[in-house]
Amino acid sequence: MSLRERLSTALKEAMKAREADRTSTLRLINAAIKDRDIAARTESAADGVSDADILAILGKMVKQRQESARVYEEGGRLELAEKELSEIKVIEEFLPRQLSEAEVGQAIAEAIAETGATGIRDMGRVMAVLKGKYTGQMDFGAAGPMVKDRLG
């Protein structure tokens, strides 16, 4: 079952179970995917964005909610921070397991070996390989400096 189908099924189940918060979050996810479908609409991509694109959308949504929760907590708005954190839990159900720091290090070493990278100028190629293989499984904002350290 594709990720899009899993999301659709989860939305239907949440609506039947009258889980208002879960339904709301799943609708936000579907709206973000539809926005990307519309933006990417061409004759060749008539069936919409791929699962990898959906994973990227979900990852971005998690990061946005983490930032919002942090801001709400700093502002003393704990009820809003809790809502953001509960939305993160729903979104993360559809993301693959996140790699541990050791697994990220191993993936970076493999990507460097695969591309034959020798210096900082090869960082883009290494990051492209990582994004191709590990979208949704690793935080590329944190992986970038690790790649830079190994190549620098």
Q: Which domains does the chain have, with CATH numbers?
A: 3-92 (1.10.1510.10), 101-151 (1.10.10.410)
* C-alpha–C-alpha distance, residues 150 and 11, integer Å: 43
User: For residue 140, is pLDDT > 90?
Assistant: no
Identify whether the C-beta of residue 126 lies closer than 8 Å to the C-beta of residue 64.
Answer: no
Choice between 134 and 47, residue whose per-residue pLDDT is larger: 134
Determine the pLDDT at residue 42: 64
Measure CA 22 to chain center: 18
Task: Provide the phi-psi class of 147: left if phi over 0, else alpha when psi is between -120 and 50, else beta.
Answer: alpha
pLDDT in tens, 63-113: 899 999 999 999 999 999 999 999 999 998 998 888 888 899 899 999 999
* C-alpha–C-alpha distance, residues 122 and 113, integer Å: 11
Determine the pLDDT at residue 118: 87
pLDDT in tens, 15-61: 999 999 999 999 999 999 998 888 877 655 556 788 878 888 898 89
